[in-house]
Structures are given as structure tokens and as C-alpha cells.
Amino acid sequence: MENFTGKAAYQGIAIGKIAEMVKADGAIRREHIDDIASELERLHAAKEQALSELKALYQKALKDVGEAHAEIFEVHQMMLDDDDYNESIEEIIKEQKVNAEYAVATTGDNFADMFASMEDEYMRGRAADVKDISSRLVADLMGGGADANNFTEPIILVADDLAPSETVQLDKDMVLAFVTRAGSTNSHTAILARTMNIPALVQVDIPKDVDGKLAIVDGMKGKVIIDPDEDTLAKYQVLQEKEEEKRRLLDEMKGKETVTKSGRHVHLYGNIGGVGDVGYVLENDGEGVGLFRSEFLYLSDTDYPSEEKQFQAYKQVAELLAGKQLIIRTLDIGADKQIDYFKLDKEENPALGFRAIRICLTREEVFMTQLRALLRASAYGNIAIMFPMIISKWEVETCLKMLNQAKAELDAHDVPYKKDISVGIMIETPAAVLIADELAELVDFFSIGTNDLTQYTCAIDRQNQHLERFFDAHHPAVLKAIQMTIDAGHRHNTWVGICGELGADPELTEVFVKMGIDELSMSPTSILRTRKIIRDMD
């Protein structure tokens, strides 16, 4: 028995035989040609064939995994049509008098290297896409077409890396899990695996000679166990059955409305920390994203993310959600979320200190950069903006003034954005609860951050595990604050949701619905369970 670990791209347990992915022979010879015109003709014919394959793949993906994920094959069509890419191939053929296969492979490598060296994570991810389209073009030039991996029994697929087109072409009923030696949890392939509901691990240091061996993929722990002993196998079989039973029951909730028996509808959204989490929301049939913690973009960087970098990230999430609601919370750092390059002073009481909106309203250029990025991305989806840690009316008014200023800057350059973009605030301080009537007049929605609201209402540090005895997640003061917020919001036509952890607490779902909550946003894996509770309510 041998263990190998990597990063989990999607949870779940799979038990089965390993099949190493068969890829086309990559040997491409450089051949001298004399007839440049007919080589170019051959290239154009192969390109047409590749384009029609991509169109067919788009249709297949549309059917299997939905529009948001199918879009990658439209992107591939656009990349294949890109002027720079095509000019590079044609120039190599003409200037070096070489075969089209060699020119395509060289261009593919050059473009992939260029993308891979870019700072922007999204652009780096495009390296795999340009390699993918180049391999397709080469395969079509060689008359081979796409790889055939036709399995006769369900297998655990092991590969060095998987391109999105390879992933989607696989017969998903025949794949128990994906394990790749390279790859990132943010790649389209990882997103596709989540959407297809297939456990996936990336960056696993698994040897090459594993084809045909029995293995267990533990997507919870990011582990592959090869040749498991009997005890381990039995333990995982039980675990797998339990997982499957749970999923079976909850799967029945997919596609159903979140509505009580008496007809009250509640929106169920997912909380995400980055683009890699969108798949979880879609997989669990979330109606959208109720909290995108944008600070994770800043936390995963070594310097302030540029407006362009943020724009690309927000746009990508918006496009993956394909028109579903996407509420992006502006930067919420300080307290437990420290970032070196912000160079924040050490504080006596960080939870009560320089954090969240207080930083944004002080370091205005950091805030304006984010606001412009958010507005620009709003042209690509149903984005709403939410401000955290509000305690006063003037803070909201200043945020709105700065948002208007950002809009004016974009207008001056004719940059499109959603003119009627919704704006909301987090209600996570007792001060905000007590003046909720006044705040409600300023915004379109409230989202109650119960994690901080509990901390500040009960004066209990949410980070301190020694206070457990005093901590009551269902403290009546917190529940009363939630009711007050809902009532105040509704008096002013402002819808009210919960995006703190309490929103997913099954013991409180009924209580919140009875209080009149309009939306609950939670970790995506809790969505279907909550839907079931609401649908079972009278």
C-alpha cells in the first residue's frame, strides 16, 4: 500500500482501477517544404476542421455541463482565429519553409511560454488553452483527430495534465476520478470536474507505472492510496456508501425551487473566495453568489492586485455564473486577515481596529482601484457591490460618493458598466443594526454577517477557542438583532439576507424563514440541505 498526496480540486471518494491517459504521439518532425501555397492551404483546411470540432464540443459541453462551462470552447475558437497566432504560424511556414505541423507546434509553445510567464493568474492559465488548440490543430494536420480514450469499465484517470477539451470529451460515466501530476485547482479542468461531480486531485506526485492498479482517491484529504490493504479498502467502502447516500438524497433537490409549502420563496446563494469556487455553487444548484470575499484576491498576492487583474478575476466569476446574481464584497482585511504589503500597524484590539471599510475609506486609491475594477466587470454579468463593517451613515454615503466618482471616471473614457448596479452593505455590527432604518434608505440590500455580528454583540472574540463555554451561536441577542435588521430592511423595501455561517445552520433555517429572511448565502455544499429543509416547511 502506498500513499500519495496532492491538492483536492473536488471532494468525494473513488475506488477503482487506474488508467493512465493515452495521449497522441507528440513527435513532430521539422520538414523542409518547397510548395508554401499548398502548405498554407493544408493549414487552413485543418483550421476549419478544428473549428468545426470545437463547435461540436461546445454543443456537447452545453448539454453535459451547461453554458458557463461550455464557453471555454468558444474561447478556444476565438484563440484559433486570433490574428497574432495565425500570423506567427504562417510566417514560420513562409520564412523557414517548414511543414505546418512544426509551425503550429512552435507557435503553440512560444505562445504558451508567453502566457505562462505573465503575472496575471488568469492569463497564466491560458497557457494550457493555447497548447490545447495547437495540439488539436496538429492532430488535424496529421489526420489523426482527437485522442481516443474509450474505456470499457469505470476507471480512475491519471494524467500528467488534462486540457479542458480532453476532460469534456471523456465519457463521464466511465471516469470515477481525475488525478493529475500537474494542474491547478483553478483550472477550467478542475472547474469542469467539480461540475461533473467527479472527485479530482491535482499536483499529485504519483509514479508513472500505476496503470491497472487498484486505488482509492480521497478527495477530502487530497490523497491517493495505491494497492490498499483490506482494512483500508473496507473503511473507504463504508465512507463512500455514506457519501453516496447523502448525495443521492440531496441530488433530488437540484432544479427545484427553494420555496416553503405555503409558497414563500427564499434565494439560496453560495459563498466563494475566488474563481475556483464558482463550480461548487453551480454544482450545488446555487442561484448565485451571495458573498464573494474579494480579500482573497489580495491575500493570495505579494503586492496590490492591479485594476486589470481584479477586473479579469471579477469578470471571470461573473461569466462563469452566466447572469446569476454575484455579490462581491469590497476588501475586508485587518483583524485576522493581515496582508504584509498593506503594512498595517500592530494594534491592541485588531478586531475593533483599522479594518475593512475603515482601511478603504482611508487608503482611497486602493478602494477606487477596486471600485473601478468591479464596475468594469459589471458589464459582463449580474454583479452587485457590498461594503463590509459599516457602523455609520456617513460611511455608506462616502462609499456611494466614491462609487459615483468611479462611474464618472469610466464614463469619461466610455468604458461600459452596469448603470443600475445594486449596492448593499453588511450588517455585522450592533451599531448598524440599531440604525438599520436609516441605512436601509441608502442601499438596495442588507446581508447580515453573523460571524462578526455575534462577536460584536456578545463581545466575544470569534478567534479565541478558550471562550467556547461562553459562546452561544444561537444567543437570543443575536437572533433579536437579525429580526430587527429584517424588519428595518423591509420597512424600506430593502431585501435582507444572511451570509455568515449561521445562515447554513440547519437548526435555524426555519427560524430565519419565519423571521422573513429573503436570502441565505452559505458554503455551496450546504445549499441543497438547506433547500430540503425549506421545502419541508409548512
Q: Which does 218 bind (CB under 5 to 8 A by kind): Mg ion, ligand PEP, none?
A: none
| Min dist. Cβ of residue 176 to Mg ion (A) | 39
* Interface pick for ligand PEP out of 101, 500, 509, 526 (rule CB under 6 A): 500
Q: Segment 226-285, which members bind ligand PEP (CB under 6 A)?
A: none
Cβ-based nearer residue to Mg ion, 39 or 332: 332
| Min dist. Cβ of residue 491 to ligand PEP (A) | 23
Cβ-based nearer residue to ligand PEP, 275 or 426: 426
Q: What letter represents residue 262's amino acid?
A: S
The grid coordinates listed for 145 are 483527430
Say how many residues touch Mg ion, by CB under 5 A: 3
Structural Rg of the chain based on CA atoms: 26
Cβ-based nearer residue to Mg ion, 106 or 521: 521
Q: Which does 499 bind (CB under 5 to 8 A by kind): ligand PEP, Mg ion, none?
A: ligand PEP
Q: Contact region for ligand PEP (CB under 6 A) — 73-81, 434-442, 443-451, 474-482?
A: 443-451
How far does CA 391 lie from the centroid of its chain?
30
| Min dist. Cβ of residue 396 to ligand PEP (A) | 17
- Per CB under 5 A, does 449 bind Mg ion? yes
Q: Which does 53 bind (CB under 5 to 8 A by kind): ligand PEP, Mg ion, none?
A: none
Active site residue 399: no
Residue 278 DSSP code: H
Q: Contact region for Mg ion (CB under 5 A) — 39-47, 81-89, 426-434, 466-474?
A: 426-434
| Min dist. Cβ of residue 529 to Mg ion (A) | 23
Burial of 172 (0-12, 13-18, 19+ CB in 10 A): middle
Q: Burial code of 456-472, b = ≥16 C-beta within 10 A, e = fewer?
A: bbbeeebeeeeeeeeee
> Which candidate in 69, 188, 399, 458 is catalytic?
188
Q: Contact region for ligand PEP (CB under 6 A) — 142-150, 437-445, 447-455, 468-476?
A: 447-455
The grid coordinates listed for 507 are 437548526
| Min dist. Cβ of residue 269 to ligand PEP (A) | 12
CB 168 within 8 A of CB 64: yes
Residues in the chain: 538
Cβ-based nearer residue to Mg ion, 38 or 464: 464
| Min dist. Cβ of residue 332 to ligand PEP (A) | 6
Cβ-based nearer residue to Mg ion, 449 or 489: 449
The grid coordinates listed for 398 are 462616502
- Per CB under 6 A, does 499 bind ligand PEP? yes
Residue 182 DSSP code: S
How far does CA 121 lie from the centroid of its chain?
13
| Min dist. Cβ of residue 365 to ligand PEP (A) | 23
CB 185 within 8 A of CB 162: no
Q: What letter represents residue 124's amino acid?
A: R
The contacts of residue 459 (CB under 8 Å, 6+ apart) are: none
CB atoms within 10 A of CB 484: 17
Any idea of the CA torsion for 400, 401, 404, 410, to the nearest 10 degrees?
A: -120
Cβ-based nearer residue to Mg ion, 157 or 291: 291
Cβ-based nearer residue to ligand PEP, 106 or 330: 330
| Min dist. Cβ of residue 479 to ligand PEP (A) | 15
Q: Contact region for Mg ion (CB under 5 A) — 58-66, 399-407, 448-456, 527-535?
A: 448-456
Cβ-based nearer residue to Mg ion, 4 or 456: 456
CA distances from 185 to 128, 178, 200, 275, 278 (A): 13, 12, 9, 10, 12
In degrees rounded to 5, what are phi and psi of residue 66? 90, 165
- Per CB under 6 A, does 428 bind ligand PEP? yes
Between 450 and 469, how does the x/- string for binding to ligand PEP read (CB under 6 A)? xxx-----------------
| Strands 445-448 and 495-498, sheet pairing | parallel
Say how many residues touch ligand PEP, by CB under 6 A: 10
* Interface pick for Mg ion out of 395, 452, 518, 519 (rule CB under 5 A): 452
| Strands 519-522 and 267-272, sheet pairing | parallel
CB 368 within 8 A of CB 330: no
The contacts of residue 442 (CB under 8 Å, 6+ apart) are: 393, 396, 397, 400, 425
Cβ-based nearer residue to ligand PEP, 240 or 451: 451
Active site residue 499: yes
In degrees rounded to 5, what are phi and psi of residue 390? -80, 135
Between 153 and 192, how does the x/- string for binding to ligand PEP read (CB under 6 A)? ----------------------------------------
CA distances from 246 to 218, 219, 314, 501 (A): 17, 16, 33, 21
Q: Which does 450 bind (CB under 5 to 8 A by kind): Mg ion, ligand PEP, none?
A: ligand PEP
- Coil, strand, or helix at residue 270? strand
Q: Contact region for ligand PEP (CB under 6 A) — 4-12, 92-100, 138-146, 448-456?
A: 448-456
List, by residue number, the catalytic residues. Answer: 188, 499
Contacts to Mg ion by CB under 5 A: 428, 449, 452
Q: Which residues bind ligand PEP (CB under 6 A)?
A: 291, 293, 332, 428, 449-452, 499-500
